[in-house]
Amino acid sequence: MQRDDRVIDYVMPVAIKSVAGGVGGVQSLLKQKLPQIGLSEPDCAVIEGAGHIILDFGRELSGGVRILTHRAEGNTRVRIRFGESLSEACSDIKGRAAGATATNNHSLRDFEAELVFMSDMRFGQTGFRFVRLDFFEGCQVTVKSIYAAFEHRCLNRLGRFSCSDPVINDIFETAAYTVELCMQNMLWDGIKRDRLVWIGDTHPEMLSIVSLFGEDKCIEQALAFARNEAPLPAFMNTIPSYSLWWLVIIADYFTQNNNIGFLYAERAYIKSLVSLIDSLIDRDGNLNFPGYFLDWPTADADTEGRAGTYALCAYAIEKTKIIYGALNEDGAVLDGILGRIDRSLKGGTYKQVAAMRVLAGFDSPGEALENQLRGGAKGMSTFMSYYILSSIAMAGRTEAALGIMREYYNGMLQRGATTFWEDFDVAWLENSGRIDRLPQENEKDIHGDFGAHCYKGFRHSLCHGWASGPVPFLMHHILGIKVCEAGCRKVAIKPNLGGLSWASGAYPTPYGNIEVNVKDENGKTRVEMRVPQEIEIVP
């Protein structure tokens, strides 16, 4: 659906990354000019024959490219390639070259178009930072300006966080920008590939959105869309665990905003889904789902996926108690599920599985701590980062959690990320280069040479909303803000600086922002807060 808060900003390139062949005068494209073609345009890039130009727009954007063409004669075809990395902008899609991993899946990012005499035209709709234009023999074209057509919503960010560590500040801002780009017509997973409502992936996105905006209709729209696409007994997105996440999202979004009308609208479906889950758990506590997907890193480890899904099921049913309480429904079926489900399946050493067992109450945070700290950021997951970091903080090791978050997410920043990625492994950092330059000799391409499952190579999304976990983690565990009653009527505020000198932030509620300032003063924590009068602060 079209939103009235969507705008297009025209962004100038910040650099010319490459120019070759019959392309000249390209520095003119970095000059600010009136965005209107005139009869006389003396300051243009001139293309005479085959060649290319690659533009860098400085950060990840959603949208396309706007080209103001003055003269267009001869062969006016141009190949346009968008890239989230410089390498992707120079890559071939499948079908053009054997072994190519770049695609046009979900959004057209590699195609040919025609430039027209005295024209102002937009091309493409994808996620990108770089644009490469290839011209062919016989081309005689002059181009006045090339802009990125940055399409986004006019969002009024209410939540904020800053602290004494500039790296953590960069991580927070990048995570926030990542999820903001995915808040499109509905809540998308990614803005290049995965322009879809994958509802299981939406929980960390939802936690980020309420931390930044308090509420947003894209969440309720995504929840309703996923439900409509999966009439029972089908599971959402065909994945059983995603129907579990749907319950978690509804419960946590209700806790934030007290949107009781939405609960009543979904009442029948919620009760039927709970009945379906109940019917799939046998008397021995086995969960008889057709699949056990937790996240991609555990996708090939059957025991891990199963163990994680068992814990997620218990976590979702515990959250559903909030929904049943608000609807005055009998929760006996929920207690029956929780009392019956097998809690003994632990899996192995995957941090996300251990985190889900902690959140489900299967294990104490202390029991999981050794596993969670082993190897630092090794074994982290962009999708599951919030849960892994939270399980460590719940064990009283907030400083260690901050260190792992810093190591993991700063690894992407060090490689030029301006948004956070669908997946990332710190092992990829070894002998790999930045996304804003081409790999040097004997150097790995951190975009093209890595990835797995459905995101191999350049198909890998470098802007994925589920990677925004640092936003709610910093709100919940550093500023210590925890909502305890629907609509933020009761809130606990228990900051933990985790080794920082100071931290400051704001958390949106239906009654206005909670403001928290925390400072270490000679080993003692001083907390200042400003809380709307409608909110009760509880221990």
Question: What length does the chain have?
Answer: 539
Phi first, then psi: give them for residue 505, nearest 5 degrees.
Answer: -175, 180
| Helix/strand/coil for 239 | coil
Is the per-residue pLDDT at 97 higher than 80?
Answer: no
pTM (predicted TM-score): 0.96
Q: What is the pLDDT averaged over residues 147-167? A: 96
CA distance 284 to 297: 28
Q: State the Rg of the chain over Cα.
A: 25
161-195 burial string, b = 16+ CB within 10 Å, else e? bebebeebeebbbbbbbbbbbbbbebbbbbbbbbb
Is the per-residue pLDDT at 290 higher than 60?
Answer: yes
Amino acid at 465: G
For residue 184, what pLDDT is reported? 87
Q: What is the pLDDT averaged over residues 41-70? A: 97
Is the per-residue pLDDT at 297 higher than 70?
Answer: yes
Which tops the pLDDT comparison, 347 or 534? 534
**How many Cα atoms are found within 13 Å in the side-chain-facing hemisphere of 263?**
24
Tokens of 157: 């960010």
DSSP H helices, 6-47, are none
Q: First vs last Cα of the chain: how many Å apart? A: 43
| CB 146 within 8 Å of CB 435 | no
Structural domains present in the chain: 6-153 (2.60.120.260), 160-483 (1.50.10.10)
For residue 347, what pLDDT is reported? 80
Is the per-residue pLDDT at 456 higher than 80?
Answer: yes
| Helix/strand/coil for 524 | strand
What is the average pLDDT score of the chain? 95
For residue 100, what pLDDT is reported? 76
Is the per-residue pLDDT at 388 higher than 80?
Answer: yes
**Confidence band (pLDDT; 50, 70, 90) for 1?**
very low
Is the per-residue pLDDT at 4 higher than 80?
Answer: no
Share above pLDDT 90 across residues of the chain, in percent, rounded to a whole number: 93
DSSP H helices, 31-184, are 86-89, 166-182
Tokens of 26: 């390209």
DSSP H helices, 6-132, are 86-89
> How many angstroms separate the Cα of 89 from the Cα of each of 50, 55, 109, 128, 520?
18, 10, 9, 9, 47
- Cα dihedral value 400, 403, 408, 410, nearest 10: 170
DSSP 295: -
Which residue bears the tokens 């939540």?
159
CA distance 390 to 465: 18
Amino acid at 478: I
Q: Tell me: the pLDDT tens digits for 489-536?
A: 999 999 999 999 999 999 999 999 999 999 999 889 999 999 999 999
Q: Tell me: the pLDDT tens digits for 48-58?
A: 999 999 999 99
| CB 235 within 8 Å of CB 293 | no
Tokens of 180: 């903001």
Q: What is the pLDDT averaged over residues 376-392? A: 97
Q: What is the pLDDT averaged over residues 430-437? A: 96
Cα angle, residue 20 at apex, residues 16 and 22 outer, rounded to 5°? 115
CA distance 157 to 508: 9
Q: Tell me: the pLDDT tens digits for 210-260?
A: 999 999 999 999 999 999 999 999 999 999 999 999 999 999 999 999 999
372-387 burial string, b = 16+ CB within 10 Å, else e? bbeeebebbbbbbbbb
Is the per-residue pLDDT at 2 higher than 80?
Answer: no
For residue 98, what pLDDT is reported? 57
CA distance 80 to 72: 16
Q: What are the strands of the beta sheet with 481-483, ordered from one edge?
A: 481-483, 490-493, 536-537
Cis peptide before 166 (omega within 30 of 0): no
